Structure 1
Amino acid sequence: MPPSSNSPFPRLLPWLLLIGGAIGLLAAGVLTVEKIALLRDPSYVPSCSINPVLSCGSVMTKPQAEVFGFPNPLLGLAGFAVVTTVGAALLAGAAFRRWFWIGLQVGVTLGAVFVHWLIFQSLYRIQALCPYCMAVWAVTIPIFWYVTLHNLNRFTRYHPIPLALWAVAVLSLITEQFWSYWKTLL
């Protein structure tokens, strides 16, 4: 089903997939490079380890960073490469069959579920935030949301509200979880 004038987001969806996928791909790429450096030298401090809260190194060394037996960013490299390619193809005028959109929906849904599990793990188990991981969170949810709306062929002029509520909820959880640190910066 190509994004047509009858589709909910004829212009938004291709650009969201292209740009959001590229941001996710870049973040996954940087995390992969940082993880390789950390594997080579356990004393390496990743560039995204900024303070006790914003600390990729703390996140990368935990078991949650390799859920399937290999570094999680490798999933991002594969998944975001697909998303970026689909966005570019749509911008070039490609039309995909229904089975393709269903497959993309399965992929972005699994990605969204995994991201929420990682958010929970970062906040409440690892108790540290990875800036590049947060970039992945920030693009995965809109990608999931708009692919879902496209597949349901449901358009509402209030489509950004769920995303805004999600962002407020995650930012509130981050603020609450790390308030004791944040208030020392004030």
Structure 2
Amino acid sequence: MSKTSRQVATTTPPLGWLPWTTLAVSVVSLAVAAYLTYEHFTAGSTLACPDTGVVNCVKVTTSQYSKFAGIPVALLGLGFFAAMVVLSLPAVWRTTSPWPSRVRLASVIVGVGFVCYLIWAELFRINAICLWCTVVHALTLVLFGLVVIREALAPID
């Protein structure tokens, strides 16, 4: 192996399955967030979720908690997951700069914090649960776990 080959090997470690899984979860999450954003702006009733009782997507997605600082929560989720897709691309994982991993980690920490706020709102303020929102919450928690595990396993330079 030439010196150049060894340098490339040490600066671009193999990705393994965690970053690829992070990308897949980000893409699926982006799709669900896009659906919820579409439903928000079209006032759709195609949420495929009951609209009576505890499980009530319409009640959740039209509540005062469906906006944060005047911005639809679904749109915030769409932006978050679009950013996570970019931050989860193989080229971004391979970079030697520490900034993408820092931004990725900070983003999922903020994402989980926001999920906790939304779950609190569903359970204690709206008194209803949205199944689609729960999918987004679960995927955000999975994404958080994957990023934290990857950061914990990453070699320290």
TM-score range, shorter chain: 0.7 to 0.9
Matching residue's letter, 2:100: F
Q: CA deviation at 1:108?
A: 0.8
Question: Identity of aligned pairs, percent?
Answer: 27
Count matched residues.
144
Partner of 2:29: 24
Cα distance in 1 for partners of 2:101, 2:63 equals 34
Q: Deviations over 1:113-162 (max 9, x none)?
A: 000111111112111111111111111112112212222337xxxxxxxx
Q: Which has the larger radius of gyration?
A: 2
The code of the aligned residue for 1:111 comes to G
Q: How does 1:38-49 map to 2 (within 5 A)?
A: 38=43, 45-49=45-49
Q: Is the 8 A contact 2:87 2:104 kept in 1?
A: no
Cα distance change on mapping 1:153 and 1:3 into 2, 3 Å = farther
Runs of 4+ in 1 over 6 A off after TM superposition: none
For the structure 1 residues 86 and 45, does the alpha-carbon distance in structure 2 shift closer, same or farther, using more than 3 Å as the test? same
* Superimposed CA distance per residue, residues 49-90 of structure 1 (whole angstroms, 9 cap, x where no aligned partner): 314222211001211110121111111111111212333x21
Q: Does structure 1 residue 4 correspond to structure 2 residue 5? A: no
SS of corresponding position for 2:48 = coil
Give the aligned partner of residue 52 of structure 1.
53
TM-score normalised by the chain length of structure 1? 0.68
Q: Provide the C-alpha distance between the structure 2 equivalents of 1:61 and 1:79, rounded to a whole number of angstroms.
A: 20
Change in Cα spacing, 1:81 to 1:125, as seen in structure 2 (3 Å) is same
Where structure 2 has 5 or more consecutive residues not aligned to the other structure, the ranges are 1-10
Structure-2 separation of matches of 1:109 and 1:142 = 12
How far has the Cα of 1:93 moved from its partner? 7.1
> After the TM superposition, which residues 83-122 of structure 1 pair with which residues of structure 2 at under 5 Å, given as runs?
83-87=84-88, 89-90=89-90, 94-122=94-122
Q: Do the aligned partners of 2:55 and 2:131 also contact (CA within 8 Å) in 1?
A: yes
